[in-house]
Chains A and B, each alone.
Chain A
Amino acid sequence: MADLWIQFLLTLDATLRVAIPLILCAMAGLFSERSGIIDISLEGKMLMAAFAAGTLAALTGSAIAGLVGAILVSVMFSLIHGFACITHKGNQVISGLAINILASGLTVTLGIAIFAKGGQTPMLSREARFSSIELPFAEAAGAIPFIGPIYKEIISGHNILVWCALIAVWLTGFVIFKTAFGLRLRAVGEKPEAVDTAGISVSGLRYRAVIIAGILCGIAGAYLSIAHGAGFVREMTAGKGYIALAALIFGNWRPVPALAACLMFGFLDAVAARLQGVEVPVIGQIPTDLILVLPYVLTVVLLAGFIGKATPPRAIGRPYVKER
C-alpha cells in the first residue's frame, strides 16, 4: 500500500516536471493570443531557446548564461514573428509555421557546425545546469508516514525554473486581469479599433505581448535543455509547443484553467512513462508505442470534443488595418 502511494506521488512529481515547458509556453501563448496574435511558433521559439541554452551553457559552463541566451534568441524570433504579423500584417499562421520550420532546421545545422555531434550539444556538467533545490528537512520529512513523502517527492527537489513557471502563472493572471496594461492587452485582442481610437498604439501593445511571449518561451526552452535535461537533443521539443497551444485553447485563454490543462497533459505523459513494461491484468503488457501515443490521441479527442465552447479573443488572427 505504502509502495503504491509512493508510486502515485512519483507520478505526480513527474507530471509537474513534464508539464513545466507546457505551462511556460501556454502562458507565452496567452499573452500573444490575448493581444490578437496567433502563436503557433511557440514550438519553434522553444526549440531555438533550448538549443541556445544548451550551446551557451556548454561553451561557457554557466547555466545563467544559457538561460539569458535562450531568452534573447527566443525574443529575437518573437520579433521576427511580430515584424511579419504586426508591421507587415502577414498571415499569422504562416509566419508561425515558417519559424517552426526554420527552428527545426537551424538548430540541427548549427549544432552540427559547432559541435559535430549529429545535432546534439555536449552533455552538461552539474555546474552548467540548473540543479534541483532540496528544501530543508526533506530527508527527515520523508520518514513521516503518508504525508511526509508529499513534501519530499513533490514539493522539494525542483530546480529554480519549475518555481519560475508556477510564479509565471500567477503573474500572468495578475498582469492580464489586474493591471491597466492587461486591460489594454485584452482590449486589443478583442477590438483593436477601440484601443486605437483611445489614442494608444495597437502595434506597440502587440509587440510588447509577443516579446513577453518570447521571454516565457525562452525559459521553457532553457528548462528542456539545461534544467530538465543535460544538453540539447535535436527536435527535443517534440510537439510540446503545439500541446501547450491546445492546453491554452482548452483553458479558454485563462491562466488557471490553462495550467490545469497543462498538468493534465503532463499527467498523461507521466502515466504513459510509468506504464511502460508494466503488466496490466487481463490485457497483459501494453505495447510501448501505444502508450506513448496516448497524450497525442487525447489532445485530438479533447480538441475535437470539447473545444466547441471555447471563445477565442474576437480579433485573433486579424491584422489591424486602420480604416479611414
Chain B
Amino acid sequence: MHKKTLSDTGGADTAPPAIYLKNIYKSFGAVQANKDIDLHVSAGTIHGIVGENGAGKSTLVSILYGFYTADRGKTEIFGAPVVLRSTADAIAAGIGMVHQHFMLVPNFSVLENIILGHEGSSSLQAGLEKATKELQNIADKYGLQVDLHALVQDLPVGLQQRVEILKALYRGARVLILDEPTGVLTPQETKQLFEILRSLRAQGVTILLITHKLKEIMAVTDNVSVMRGGEMVAHLETQKTSPEQLAELMVGRPVLLTVGYDSAEAGDICLQVEHLSMRDDSGKSCLQDISFSVRRGEIFGIAGVSGNGQSELLEVLAGISALDAGRVVIGTTEISADNPATPAEVKELGLAHIPEDRHAMGLILPFTAAETAMLGYEERGAVSGRSPFLSPDKITRHCAKLMTDFDIRPADPNLKSNLFSGGNQQKIVVAREISAHPDILLVGQPTRGVDIGAIEFIHKQLLALRDAGCAIILVSVELDEILNLSDRIMVMNAGQNMGILVREDADVQKIGLMMAGLENTGNIATSLASEKKGGKHE
C-alpha cells in the first residue's frame, strides 16, 4: 500500500495545495457521514475520489461546495483558510462544481444560464453583452466551444455538461469539482470530457473527480483518494495502483471485478418483439419500430445512454405500458395494441421483472422485508394460505429462505424494507423475482446504487439463471455490465434499435458510436432542427 502521509504544513511543496482539508467531520443525526476526513489536492492536478454509495463522497463534496457546513474541521483553499457556509462562499473561494444532474434552466439560452446569478449589471442586455465577450475568451482558452444562443434543452447531454463547465469557469473557478460526470455520457463523449479535463489541467485548473468507475480513475487522474464508510482509507498515486487494489480498499475485502463468463448454448426463441412502436403521454414517439427475439438460455443486453427508450421498452414488455403498434409474442401469446396485457397476465406467462427504479416499482419501503419478498406473488402456494387469506407463517419462512439463499443482511424478515442498504434491498427484489422460476426475466439497472460486493453476487445469480435455461433481457446504462454478461447486445438511441451485436463483435468503440446514434445522423439532425423551430425563445 502506498499511503501518502499528510503533514499539517503541507510538506516541502512550495505551492500551497488547491484543497486542504483537515479533520472534516459531519453527522446527520446518528449517521456519521464524514469522520475526520483529511484531503490534500495539489494545485494543477486531477484528483479522484472513489468510494461506494454511502461512503460519504457526496457529503464531502457538498461540504466543499457550501451546501452543508461541516460540524468541525479545517478547510484551506490555495493556502487561505476559508469557512464555506453557502454556495456563494464556495464560488467566491474559487470553487466550481459540475453536478451529476445538471443545474441548468432548460428553456433558457446557454448564455442566460451561464450568467445567472453573475449578471454583472441590473440590466440584462448589458450583462449579456459583456458576458459574450468574456465567454469567447474562456472558450478559446480552454477549447470549449458552444453556441451561446442555443436553448439548453436543444443541446445533447455532452454539450450541456460543457455549458456547466463554462459556467463554473465564468464564475471564476480555479478548482472544478465533477460529481459522477460520465453517468449520462457515451464512451466517445466521456473521452472528449477527459480531453477537456486534461486541457483544463494544462491551463492550471485543479480538478476533483468524484466517481465510482475505477476505469475512469485509472484513465485520467494523477492521484486518488478512497473513501469507505465515511472515512478516507487511502491516498494513492494513480500510477502506482490498480483497479483491483482500489476495489479492495473501497469494499474492505478482495472482490472480483468481473465475474467469469462462459458461453452457453441458447435454446428456442421464447420472446419475440416485432415492429414495436410507442408514444409517450405527450404524444412524442419514444419507441420506433423495434424488432428482436430472445432465446432460452441467453442474456440479451440492451445498451444505450439513459433516456433513449430502454425504460419504456422494459415497461411495455412487463405489461406496465401499452404499445401503440407492432406486437410482442411471449411463447404463443400475442400482445398488441388490440390485445393488451396487464402485468399480472404477463407474469402468468412466465415473465418476471426486476424494475429499474426499485424504490418506485420494486418494493414498498415501509413494508417489512417479508412482505416485500412476496409482492406480486401473494397468490402463489409459497406464501398464500387458505384462500382468500395469506399465511403469515409461510410468508416469513419464504423470506427467511430467500435471505439465506441470497445472503441478504441483516437476515430479519420483519425488518422494514427501508432499513436495508441499497444492495440488500436490490437483493430482496432479485431474490423475489428469481425464486418465481421465470422463463423470461426482465432486468433493469440491476446494480444501480448497489455496492461492489452485491454487484458481484447479483451478476453470478443472473449467469446461473441463464445457465438454467431462463431468457434474460438486461437493460443497463453501465456499459461494462452489459459487455460482461450479455450473449447478444442491442444498442438503442432515440427510441430506435441501432443494431444487434453478438458478444464477439461487441467493443466499446463500436457500441459507443451506435449509442450516439451516428448511423442515423440525418434523422437526428432533422429532428433537432424541427424542435428548434417549434421552441419559443423568451
Contacts and interface: CB of A to CB of B under 8 A. Distances in A.
Interface of A: 177-184, 186-187, 190-191, 193-200, 314, 322, 324
8 contacts: A180-B122, A186-B108, A190-B107, A195-B117, A197-B87, A198-B116, A198-B117, A324-B58
B538 A193 contact: no
Main secondary structure of the interface of A (DSSP, over half): helix
Main secondary structure of the interface of B (DSSP, over half): loop
B97 interface: yes
Contacts of A193: 99, 101, 103
Given A178-B124, A198-B87, 16 more contacts: A180-B121, A180-B127, A184-B117, A191-B103, A191-B105, A194-B103, A195-B117, A197-B99, A198-B103, A199-B88, A199-B89, A200-B117, A322-B67, A324-B58, A324-B62, A324-B67
Contact of A187 (B59, B92, B105, B125): B105
B229 to A, nearest CB: 18
A180 B106 contact: no
A180 to B, nearest CB: 4
B97 A197 contact: yes
A197 B104 CA distance: 10
B113 interface: yes
In the A-B complex, list the 7 residue pairs whose CB atoms are closest, starting with the nearest: A198-B117, A199-B88, A180-B119, A194-B103, A199-B87, A197-B103, A191-B105
A324 B91 CA distance: 17
B538 A186 contact: yes
Contacts of A191: 103-106
A181 B101 CA distance: 25
A9 to B, nearest CB: 36
Nearest to A178: B124
Contacts of A200: 88, 117
A312 to B, nearest CB: 12
Interface in B80-106: 86-92, 97, 99, 101, 103-106
B112 interface: yes
Given A180-B122, A199-B117, A194 B86 contact: no
A191 B116 CA distance: 12
B511 to A, nearest CB: 32
Nearest to B98: A197
B118 interface: yes
A186 B107 CA distance: 10
B116 A183 contact: yes
A254 B455 CA distance: 51
Nearest to B87: A199
Contacts of B59: 324
Contacts of B530: none
Contacts of A178: 123-125
A186 B36 CA distance: 41
Nearest to A177: B538
Contacts of B87: 196-199
B125 A183 contact: no
A232 to B, nearest CB: 38
